[in-house]
Amino acid sequence: MADSTASSLSETATGQAHPLLEVRDLAKRFGGLKAVDHCSFQVERGTITGLIGPNGAGKTTMFNLITGFIKPDSGRILLDGQDIGHLRPDEIFMRGMCRTFQIPREHGTMSVLENLMLVPAGQTGELWWNALLRPGQVRSEEARHLHKAQEVLEYLQLTHVQHEYAANLSGGQKKLLEMGRTLMADPQLVLLDEPAAGVNRTLLQSIIKNIQTMARDRGITFLLIEHDMNMVMSLCNPVIVMSEGRKLAEGEPEAVRNNQAVLEAYLGGQYATAAG
């Protein structure tokens, strides 16, 4: 894993002038509803950036736009200075951006290990002509893939359930598996949609620790949506606040927490209690 860290670090070093991710004046309507309403923000390399806001603020829609699952009506999305607004989700994934879903999307009838092995990391084995022309290379690629999956399992402390059907995991373990799937792809940017939701306290601590280590040791940048304010306050800096499709505030967690407009947006919304 040390090798892949070194290469992803040198790659990111080439684009120092740009923020890793930039969203410019992005807009998306669903019928008459402005889910994302001319929203702009940047995510700087190496940060764990929080994206918060009351229920219905447009956070998940923003993730769906950034990762190519839905197309914006207008505005731009730049990854490392390059426009990715026209790319498909798999193309965006191949550029090093991975996401987890608010509801984990594991393959329930496959084992935990198989779920990790499924993740395409630009592996040679995918190209059928490589299998014909270079079978040896494909085999060693597979072996490396397996080795990596085992490392990821160990890292996330899921080794003891590697042969379980993914469907049998607890909610928290499924979240860890989702995180593992992003790690298999050597991402530079990981988007997490409510990693703490439905997770017990012990597992939550391990998720927080994992995010911090991945950011520190592997140089991965995180953008995460979260309603658990303790998690946001202890993990994220900066914090971006969305409300009604727009960016309402941005800054250090303490400043954002005490921002009057932010307090009002939460109090006005139905999430007032859950966010407190």
* Residue 259 in contact with ligand ADP, rule: CB under 6 A: no
**Sign of the alpha-carbon dihedral angle for 166, 162, 148, 19:** positive
* 116-147 exposure pattern, b = at least 16 Cβ within 10 A, e = fewer: bbebebebebeeeeeeeeeeeebeebeeebee
Scanning residues 150 to 169, which ones bind Mg ion (CB under 5 A)? Answer: none
* Residue 57 in contact with ligand ADP, rule: CB under 6 A: yes
* Residue 30 in contact with ligand ADP, rule: CB under 6 A: yes
Q: Which is nearer to ligand ADP, 96 or 238 (CB)?
A: 238
Total of residues contacting ligand ADP (CB under 6 A): 11
* Residue 212 in contact with Mg ion, rule: CB under 5 A: no
- Asked whether the bond before 135 is cis by omega within 30 degrees of 0, the reply is no
Q: How many residues in the chain?
A: 276
* Residue 53 in contact with ligand ADP, rule: CB under 6 A: yes
Residue in 42, 47, 60, 212 binding Mg ion, rule: CB under 5 A: 60
Task: Give the amino acid at 72.
Answer: P
Q: Which is nearer to Mg ion, 60 or 150 (CB)?
A: 60
Residue in 6, 9, 13, 33 binding ligand ADP, rule: CB under 6 A: 33
Q: Could you say which of ligand ADP, Mg ion, none residue 251 binds, taking C-beta under 5 to 8 angstroms by partner kind?
A: none
- The Cα 26–Cα 59 span in angstroms is 12
Q: Could you say which of ligand ADP, Mg ion, none residue 55 binds, taking C-beta under 5 to 8 angstroms by partner kind?
A: ligand ADP
Footprint of ligand ADP on this chain (CB under 6 A)? Answer: 30, 33, 35, 53, 55-61
